[in-house]
Amino acid sequence: MENLPEFRNEGYTDFSQPAHRQAMEEALDAVRARFGREYRLRIGSEWISTDDKLESLNPSNAKEIVGIHHKATPELARRAVECASAFFPQWSRTPAAERVRMLIDAARILRRRKMEFDAWLAYEAGKTWPEAEADVSEAIDFCEYYAREMQRLACPQKVHQLAGEQDEMVYLPLGVGIVIPPWNFPLAILVGMTVASLVTGNTVILKPSSETPTIAAQFAEVLLEAGFPERSFTILTGSGSVVGDVLVEHPKTRFVSFTGSRDVGLRINELAAKPQKGQVWIKRVIAEMGGKDAIIVDGDSDLDRAVDGVVASAFGYQGQKCSACSRAIVDAKVYEPFLEKLAGKVKAISVGPSDDPRHYMGPVISESARKSILQYIETGKREGRLVAGGGPVPGDGYFIAPTVIADVEPTARIFQEEIFGPVLAVSKARDFDHALQLANDSEYGLTGAVFSLDDEHLGRAKEQFHVGNLYFNRKCTGAMVGAHPFGGFNMSGTDSKAGGPDYLLLFLQAKSIARKVG
Ligand code: NAP
């Protein structure tokens, strides 16, 4: 196997450098010139047109069509599974070293096209430059990290040797995988789930989010250029509610790797559990779902740092991260000064088109998201005290002011329900125990953070704050591949720890072989 250097996270482009700013402006122009292109479906080597089209829009200016995509039908979904199933025997026997080489090549191509992808993310997903850059960098990290992980898992695994036997254990791919990502990390999560499936030797049907199909289409080009065979993966653009059930229920589907909302994840889990006629396995479901993430601000903490951490976690990418802080739980001793500092910072946030680097916040993803978030804001105004924001921001896109609502009780809807937008509930805790109790008062358990200078409190949080990703004295977003394996507890999912050493095992099955000797 190729000797790869030790894994390192991809560096971020520094946009304060004039040369980089100019390169990004050029990338934005080049991508804009490709707006409105049509993308057909491809199954194997066959290109397919359908009558029903999906238009993806620029959320910063909803009059602009980023891409037009031919939508899959249930019949095409079945055909895609059959195609993936037919190619699985060949792909699964392709040496791991070759699959690893393709993945390293995919990382290289993504790196070469980095600013172009940044621009697609700015236009189709409404990401600001730094947010887009973080997304593309994470996608590269997933490729590099999983390539190395596959090398590790392709080696002979250590098992105890019985006297008179040669004992071994090897990892085998599972079969046809359905990969269903969300729109909010339209490159990183899509890439992570797809390449984990492929590098382990599975064939894939990738159903991208209907909000961000153009980014998926660009990534398909990367995979093909890197040498992944046409039949190893299909990008099946189409409505989740139309083709999702067909893909999940198909008897030749072996596993589903899903990231998205709680309700869709639970539905997939339920459908996948029911064996279909002719099915000879229990389908595996890897489901990463929503969050209602809390940051605790202790009575003894660096308040300025806590405010910065909460602002970045709550309003980065408009609060549309599963890891976003949507509840700040603040010790009564520092509650009022914290709120005052927080309100000052939040009111200074500029909101506008995400391709303009002057804005810290861009638009939310769609008209329906905008409506739902604004409704939550109205509910929040009744459930607490409005401290900042509180409504839409004028413009051609789906802009919402960063909103803070204080004095929120744990029974409030805005304390319990995932809003997935720039809305922060702030609640007062009597003391640290009460803060922990409030933080854990949620059906979710994805990320959390504690700002405290008290080691005993941090030790207690380590034991009792029930989340998959816990951070101390820093923001609760921005998990780094390799350092912060990512996945949540409870209704946040199956805790699959993407970007960690356990992840690829979810796409493999172990075979134990014992040979009598002598
Ligand atoms: P979503 O509405 O659940 O959609 C996710 C994906 O599922 C999309 O590709 C969607 O396709 C598809 N889908 C919809 N209905 C389906 C069905 N019946 N069967 C199969 N697939 C179906 O979630 P989203 O709005 O894209 O993403 C936001 C959610 O993702 C939030 O809850 C967020 O917390 C969560 N998230 C979690 C993590 C994590 O790691 N835990 C990371 C990121 C996001 P269409 O677009 O065609 O409907």
Mutate to test the pocket of ligand 1, among 185, 209, 247 (most ligand atoms within 8 A of CB): 209
Phi, psi of 7 (to 5 degrees): -65, 135
Coarse DSSP helix, strand, coil percentages of the chain, rounded to the nearest 5 percent: 40, 20, 35
**Residue among 194, 31, 206, 37 nearest 122 (CA):** 31
97 CA to middle of ligand 1, Å? 33
**Helix, strand or coil, per DSSP, at residue 230:** helix
Is the distance from the beta carbon of residue 488 to the nearest atom of ligand 1 less than 6 Å? yes
Is the distance from the beta carbon of residue 56 to the nearest atom of ligand 1 less than 6 Å? no
288 CA to middle of ligand 1, Å? 9
Is the distance from the beta carbon of residue 446 to the nearest atom of ligand 1 less than 6 Å? yes
Helical ranges in 226-357 per DSSP H: 240-249, 262-273, 303-315, 335-347
Q: Convert 400-439 to b/e letters by CB count within 10 Å (16 or more is b).
A: bbbbbbbebeeebebbbbbbbbbbbbbbbbeebeebbebb
**Residue among 270, 173, 260, 265 nearest 208 (CA):** 260
Helical ranges in 113-155 per DSSP H: 114-124, 129-154
Q: What is the CA radius of gyration of the chain?
A: 23
Which ligand 1 atom is at minimum distance from the Cα of 488? 41
pLDDT of residue 1: 73
pLDDT of residue 293: 98
Is the distance from the beta carbon of residue 268 to the nearest atom of ligand 1 less than 6 Å? yes
Instruction: For residue range 331-386, list pLDDT tens digits in order.
Output: 999 999 999 999 999 999 999 999 999 999 999 999 999 999 999 999 999 999 99
The domain ranges of the chain are 18-56+64-289+496-514, 293-482
Q: Which residues of the chain have pLDDT under 70?
A: none
Q: What CATH class has 293-482?
A: alpha beta
**Residue among 431, 439, 211 nearest 325 (CA):** 439
Instruction: Give the CA-trace dihedral at 93, 97, 98, 101, to 10 degrees.
Output: 150
Is the distance from the beta carbon of residue 485 to the nearest atom of ligand 1 less than 6 Å? no
Active site residue 409: no
Cα 244 to Cα 174, 210, 516, distances in angstroms: 20, 12, 47
Task: Report yes or no: 56 and 211 within 8 Å, Cβ to Cβ.
Answer: yes
Q: How far apart are CA 151 and CA 136, in angstroms?
A: 23
Place of tokens 């660009």: 218
- Nearest 5°: CA angle at 238, between 232 and 244? 80
Same fold, 18-56+64-289+496-514 and 293-482: no
Instruction: For residue range 217-255, list pLDDT tens digits in order.
Output: 999 999 999 999 999 999 999 999 999 999 999 999 999
Instruction: Give the CA-trace dihedral at 60, 63, 67, 69, to 10 degrees.
Output: 120
Task: Report yes or no: 146 and 196 within 8 Å, Cβ to Cβ.
Answer: yes
Closest CA to ligand 1's atom 35: 260
**Residue among 214, 115, 100 nearest 155 (CA):** 100
Place of tokens 């602009």: 64
Instruction: Give the CA-trace dihedral at 273, 275, 281, 286, to 10 degrees.
Output: -20
200 CA to middle of ligand 1, Å? 24
Listed in sequence order, the residues at least 6 apart from 448 whose beta carbon sits closer than 8 Å to its beta carbon are: 293, 294, 295, 296, 439, 461, 465, 467, 469, 470, 471, 476
Closest CA to ligand 1's atom 45: 240
Mutate to test the pocket of ligand 1, among 205, 264, 267, 503 (most ligand atoms within 8 A of CB): 264
CATH of domain 18-56+64-289+496-514: 3.40.605.10
Put simply, whether the predicted model's pTM sits higher than 0.85 gets the answer yes
Task: Give bridge partners of residue 234 from the DSSP assignment.
Answer: 205
Is the distance from the beta carbon of residue 206 to the nearest atom of ligand 1 less than 6 Å? no
Active site residue 463: no
Is the distance from the beta carbon of residue 469 to the nearest atom of ligand 1 less than 6 Å? no
392 CA to middle of ligand 1, Å? 24
Task: Report yes or no: 83 and 229 within 8 Å, Cβ to Cβ.
Answer: no
